[in-house]
Amino acid sequence: MFTTSTLRRAWRSLWQLRARHDVALAARLALVSLLALSGALGLMLFAAVFGTIDRPGWWWPSLLPLMGICLCVLHGMFGVRQQKTRTVLKTCGF
């Protein structure tokens, strides 16, 4: 498991545009996964509060695909951001 200091450094490192980070990739991916899952739960909460739901057990069949979609989208965005940062910094000579 990750220690709290590692997760704090990974959180700060997640928002910095650098070619190399001093935190393990696994810690940063764990934070991206937590962001994706909290986003999926937020969307489900939004649908529950403001949507028209016709059956009581609607959330469980909807939650798992939404979590998968959010994980794929955020991990894809993370990968594109990492590659773009490395390309831009290498082009600028940093």
Mean pLDDT (the chain) is: 84
Query: Model-level pTM?
Result: 0.76
Q: What residue ranges do the domains of the chain occupy? A: 4-92
User: What's the Cα-to-Cα distance from 69 to each of 30, 43, 78, rounded to whole Å?
Assistant: 16, 12, 14
In tens, the pLDDT along 65-76 reads 999 999 999 989
